[in-house]
Amino acid sequence: MGTQQMQQTLRYQLDELQKDGVNAIIFQVRAECDALYPSRYEPWSIYLTGVQGKAPYPLWDPLQWMIEQCHERGMELHAWINPFRTKTKGTTALASNHIAIKQPGSVFTYGGQFILNPGNPANRAYIYQVVDDIVSRYDIDGFHIDDYFYPYPAPGEIIQDGREYRQYHNGINNIDDWRRYNVNVFIKELGEKIHQRKPWVKFGVSPFGIYRNKKSDPKIGSNTRGLQNYDDLYADVLLWVNNGWVDYCVPQLYWQIGHSTADYETLIKWWNKYAGNRHLCSFRFTTITSQ
């Protein structure tokens, strides 16, 4: 769009959301180890200029601009990152300072994407460094991560993390348990580091909408038949919530009431029952187009 048109569009969206009573904006600033802000670690995002690593012109800082615009309207600004996704399917060229170019051994390929391997402690440390840079430099009210930890299953694809499992298994004999352990450590340590830097910054997560199906867990599983956080994405969300490792949880419940596989009413009641130890929000996408 260019700087002026992008700012005009965002102003319009924020004004409309303010009219609707919205009091917090979750703004994505890192989609694939890139940045919608000037970063000392990662390249400018392709979503700003169409070319990864190319600075916007005229130069501006979208994150700082959004913080100022939101605070003027009495809204909170939560900076949203995708922690482990390193390259999406649609990105064909990476900047020279992108981590997958500088450290190709840190990622594995899966389903046309690059993923920072959660089983490598150096990758987790790298993300902490990126996060601390954001939290320390910007007056954000919250820090948010989405549902991408290990990748969503793709037919015929195998996660290539056997080397890291052999090196960092920590005595865990089951690779699925080890993958969950890696994500658990990441969530716990990330929240701690955010709060060490700024205790008032809220740390939130938007997990996939199903924790486990009743077929997999007859005791607490939901009456659903879809993809599962615990089994398929190696994300033990209830552990994070019940241990207070996150400040709020926003499960992604995109399905309508009466959905045959993942009924909204069934799931929102399930999350309320089992994940009510921290603030719980119902997640719905709203798209606003510019006039």
pLDDT at 277 (0 to 100): 82
The reported pLDDT for the residue numbered 2 is: 87
| Domain at 3-205, CATH from 3.20.20.70, 1.20.1730.10, 3.40.50.2020, 3.40.50.2000 | 3.20.20.70
- Walk along the chain (291 residues) in steps of 10 and give the mean pLDDT of each run: 93 97 96 97 95 95 98 98 95 96 97 97 98 98 95 95 96 97 98 98 96 97 97 97 96 93 95 90 56 43
Q: Can you give the pLDDT at residue 281?
A: 85
**pLDDT in the model for residue 283:** 58
Distance in angstroms (rounded) separating the CA atoms of residues 86 and 102:
12
- Report domain extents, the chain: 3-205
Q: Which positions ≥6 away from 199 have C-beta within 8 Å?
A: none
What is the rounded CA–CA span in Å between residue 193 and residue 181? 18
| Number of Cβ within a 10 Å radius of residue 184 | 17
Q: Report the alpha-carbon angle 183-232-174, nearest 5.
A: 65
pLDDT at 197: 98
Return the C-alpha torsion angle 98, 102, 107, 109, nearest 10: 70
